[in-house]
Amino acid sequence: EAGVTQSPTHLIKTRGQQVTLRCSPISGHTSVYWYQQALGLGLQFLLWYDEGEERNRGNFPPRFSGRQFPNYSSELNVNALELEDSALYLCASSLGWSAPGNTIYFGEGSWLTVV
Partner 1 sequence: TQLLEQSPQFLSIQEGENLTVYCNSSSVFSSLQWYRQEPGEGPVLLVTVVTGGEVKKLKRLTFQFGDARKDSSLHITAAQPGDTGLYLCAGAKSGNTGKLIFGQGTTLQVKP
> From the CB of 29, what's the least distance to partner 1, in Å?
13
Question: Which position among 17, 77, 102, 113 is part of the footprint of partner 1 (CB under 8 A)?
Answer: 102
Q: In whole angstroms, what is the distance from residue 60 CA to residue 73 CA? A: 21
Give yes or no for residue 33 binding partner 1 (CB under 8 A). Answer: yes
C-beta of 54 vs 80, nearer to partner 1 = 54
Closest CA to 110 of 63, 79, 77: 77
Give yes or no for residue 90 binding partner 1 (CB under 8 A). Answer: yes
Closest CA to 32 of 52, 48, 44: 48
Question: Which position among 56, 77, 79, 113 is part of the footprint of partner 1 (CB under 8 A)?
Answer: 56
Question: Letter for the amino acid at 49?
Answer: Y
Distance of CA 96 to the CA centre of its chain: 16
Give yes or no for residue 66 binding partner 1 (CB under 8 A). Answer: no
Give yes or no for residue 112 binding partner 1 (CB under 8 A). Answer: no
Partners of 55 in beta bridges = none
Closest CA to 46 of 89, 86, 107, 79: 89
Give yes or no for residue 64 binding partner 1 (CB under 8 A). Answer: no
Binding residues for partner 1 (CB under 8 A): 4, 6, 31, 33, 42-43, 45, 48, 50, 55-56, 58, 88, 90, 97-98, 100-109, 111
